Amino acid sequence: MHPARRQIATWLFVCCAMVFAILVVGGVTRLTHSGLSIVEWKPLVGVIPPMNVQEWNETFDKYKKTPEYQKVNHQMNLEEFKGIFYWEYWHRVLGRLIGVVFFFPMLYFWLRGKIEPGLKPKLVVIFILGGLQGAMGWYMVKSGLVDDPRVSQYRLTAHLSIAFLIFISMMWVALGLVEERARNAADAGLRRLQRIAFWLAIAVFYMVITGGFVAGIRAGKAYNTFPLMDGQVIPSGIMLLEPWYLNFFNNMATVQFDHRLGAWLLAFVVPWFWIKLRSAPVSARARFVSTLLLVLLAGQIGLGIATLLLAVPIALGAAHQGGAMVIFAVVLWLNHALRVAPATNTMPSVAR
C-alpha cells in the first residue's frame, strides 16, 4: 500500500473513533436530560465554559428562562445545573474537535498532493455533512427551547442519522484505501451474497432510525417486558393515532414495536447469512467478519433487552446506542470484505 493511502486511511479511522465517542457522549447527554442546558449556539467562543461565579450565574439565569427549567427543573440549584451543563458542553466541544481533526489534516494532505483526484469530492462531501450535523444539532436543541421541554423526535432522529452517515462515509472510504475492491464482475453466487450484505446494512440503518424515534419519544420507558409487549405479540394500541402514519413517529407502542421487529429480523437473518458464508467461496477475512458480526449482534440484542427490562438506565442506554455504531462498522467491513480484490483478500486478521 502506498504510504499516503495508509496515512489517509489511519486519519479517517481516527475520525471514525471520534464520531463513535461523540455518539456515546451524546447518548449520555440525552439520557441525563442535559441537552437543553446551553441555550445559545456560539461555534467559536462557545468553546470556553463559564470561568467564574458571575459567568455561571449568567449562564444559569439564561437556562432559567427555558421551558425545561420552568416546568421540570425549577428546584435545581447551581451545582446541579453544572452537572447537566458539562455533558452538553463536552458534547459540543467534541463536535468542534472532530471538525478540526478532519479539516486540518485534509488541508495538509490536499496541499501536499497526497489525495487522489477521485477522493477529493468524497472528503469535501464528508466535511459538508459535518457542518450540516452541527447545524442540525442546534436546530434540534431549539425545538426544546420554545414550549415543550423536549426536543423534536424528528430532529433528534435526523441528528442521529447524519452522525451515522458521516461515520459510514469515512469508514467506507478508509476501507477502500486499505483494500482495493475488485473491478471484475464476481460470479452470480457471490453477487447474491453481496446484495444480502447490502440489505443487512440497510436493516441496521433502519434500526438506527427506529431507535432514534424510540429515544425521541422515550418509548423505552413503556412496555418494559420481553419477548411480549405487556403480554401481547402486537400491542393493542399500535394504530390509535389519526392519521395512521403518525403512529410510526408519535405512538410509543408502534415505535417500540418497529424497533423490536428490526431486531427480530436481524436475529434470524444474520445467523442464516453466517451459515451461508461457511460454504460459500469467500475469503477467510469475510468469514471472520461474519462471525464477529454474529457474536456482536447477540451482545447488542442482549444489551437492548436488558436496557428495556430495566427501563433504560443511563449506562445501558448509552452502551446500546454505541453498540449500534459498532454493529454498523462490522456490517460495513463485511460488505467490503465481500468485494475486495482476490489478491488482497486473504488475511483473516483485523489488520495487516
Distance, CA of 265 to CA of 257 (rounded, Å): 12
Percent of the chain with pLDDT over 90: 84
Residues 48-73 as b or e (16 or more Cβ within 10 Å = b): eeeeeeeebeebbeebeebebbeeeb
Given this model, what pLDDT does residue 348 score?
Answer: 41
pTM: 0.91
So where are the chain's domains? 1-178, 187-352
Distance, CA of 36 to CA of 92 (rounded, Å): 12
C-alpha cell at 46: 462557545
Amino acid present at 193: L
Handedness of CA 116, 120, 123, 125 (dihedral sign): negative
- Where the chain has pLDDT below 70, the residues are 1, 45, 181-186, 341-352
Distance, CA of 243 to CA of 258 (rounded, Å): 18
Amino acid present at 96: R
pLDDT in tens, 216-254: 999 999 999 999 998 999 998 899 999 999 999 999 999
C-alpha cell at 102: 478532519
Given this model, what pLDDT does residue 273 score?
Answer: 96
Per the CB < 8 A criterion, the answer to whether 193 and 282 are in contact is yes
Given this model, what pLDDT does residue 342 score?
Answer: 52
Q: 3-state class of 35 per DSSP?
A: coil
pLDDT in tens, 30-73: 999 999 999 988 877 678 999 999 999 999 999 999 999 999 99
Given this model, what pLDDT does residue 182 score?
Answer: 61
Per the CB < 8 A criterion, the answer to whether 296 and 327 are in contact is yes
232 DSSP β-pair partners: 229
